[in-house]
Amino acid sequence: MTALYLIGQAINWAGIAIAAAIVVIVSLVLGVMILLINKYTQVKEDPRIKEVEHCLAGANCGACGYPGCSGFAKALVEGKAKLDSCGQTPTDKRIEISNILGIAVEGNTEPTIAVVGCNGGVRCRDKYDYQGYGDCVSQNLLAGGRKACEVGCMGAGSCADACPYHAIECADGYAHVDPDLCRSCGLCIQTCPKKLIKRIPASAKVYVACSTQCRGKDVMNSCQAGCIACGKCERSCPAGAIHLVNNVPIIDYSKCIHCYKCLEGCPRKCIKYVHHEDEPQPVQAEPAEQK
């Protein structure tokens, strides 16, 4: 007890009190300085950013290249991004955003969906047997993928893994998009190493399921379902809505009258229905009348 009393006597309590007071005063001064600096140097956010963000789809998928819808809205207001970069924003909201920002609506305002420009899959020859991690991005690192066609879908599901709406599945060796589930966010387009996925108008009835620019003879050596650029689709279209460009049929959907002549005339079945319900159903024979 005597030792503790002597230690207490030896402590300079006055000095400790002065030091504590100095710390408190310095803290208060620094706090006031921070408040003043924050007040006079604060960058005010443009109120249009919140208005634009409210009009966006709110999916925060990142397909536009920005960190979520808030980041994209900020980029739009600052003029660093284009409204077309978001495939999910509906037409009425795009027009509303254009009014907020005082800009013209660019590009096609019609809703779109994604389709896969390949019809090969298991009917396309493989260059080699791939052994390793199975997705398309990994396979593409080895000699451009295993398919003999340079732009052939490998069907390993990188696009399906990227789709947040589960609108893509791989069957028969290539990817298929369910148009009823697709929101045209564009993540699959960014992910596909072959750049086979593209957007078409949501009202479209047919699309070209091949992307090769090779000549017919070369296509037939590698794929049983690839376009051979025969031109029958172009010649059969009464509206002049389809033309061959670099051996690839291109459909002008503004002229398409949904007659399906191009699809019916394609010998390789490279032009396909967008919606399965549009496909003609087989006619069932009526049962013979019993006498």
- Map tokens 């051996």 to a residue: 247
48-55 and 68-77 helices cross at what angle (nearest 10)? 130
Cβ–Cβ contacts within 10 Å for residue 287, how many?
6
Q: What structural domains does the chain harbor?
A: 48-101 (1.10.15.40), 112-277 (3.30.70.20)
Q: What single letter denotes the amino acid at residue 155? A: G
Residue 216 has pLDDT above 70, yes or no: yes
Q: How confident is the model at residue 63 (pLDDT cuts 50, 70, 90)?
A: confident
Closest CA to 56 of 28, 75, 38: 75
State how far the alpha carbon of 275 is from the alpha carbons of 105, 118, 179, 180, 207, in Å: 29, 16, 7, 8, 10
pLDDT digit string, tens, across residues 140-177 = 999 999 999 999 999 999 999 999 999 999 999 999 99
Residue 237 has pLDDT above 90, yes or no: yes
Contact 175, 116 (CB under 8 A): yes
Residue 286 has pLDDT above 70, yes or no: no
**pTM of this prediction?**
0.72
**Average pLDDT of the chain, as a whole number:** 86
Contact 240, 234 (CB under 8 A): no
Residue 222 has pLDDT above 90, yes or no: yes
Distance CA 181, CA 200 (A): 15
pLDDT digit string, tens, across residues 247-256 = 999 999 999 9
Two tokens at 195?
């750049």
Range with top average pLDDT, 81-95, 244-258, 268-282: 244-258
Q: What are phi and psi of 223, to 5 degrees?
A: -145, 135
- Map tokens 């980041």 to a residue: 71
Residue 3 has pLDDT above 60, yes or no: no
Predicted local distance difference test score (pLDDT) of residue 95: 82
Q: What single letter denotes the amino acid at residue 194? A: K
Predicted local distance difference test score (pLDDT) of residue 248: 92
Two tokens at 167?
């609108």
Distance CA 29, CA 22 (A): 10
Residue 114 has pLDDT above 90, yes or no: yes
Q: Which residues, other chains included, contact 181 with Cβ-Cβ below 8 Å and sequence gap of 6+?
A: 165, 166, 167
Contact 192, 159 (CB under 8 A): yes
Distance CA 19, CA 4 (A): 23
Which stretch of 38-42, 138-142, 215-219, 222-226 has the lowest confidence by average pLDDT?
Answer: 38-42
- Map tokens 């398309």 to a residue: 136
Residue 259 has pLDDT above 50, yes or no: yes
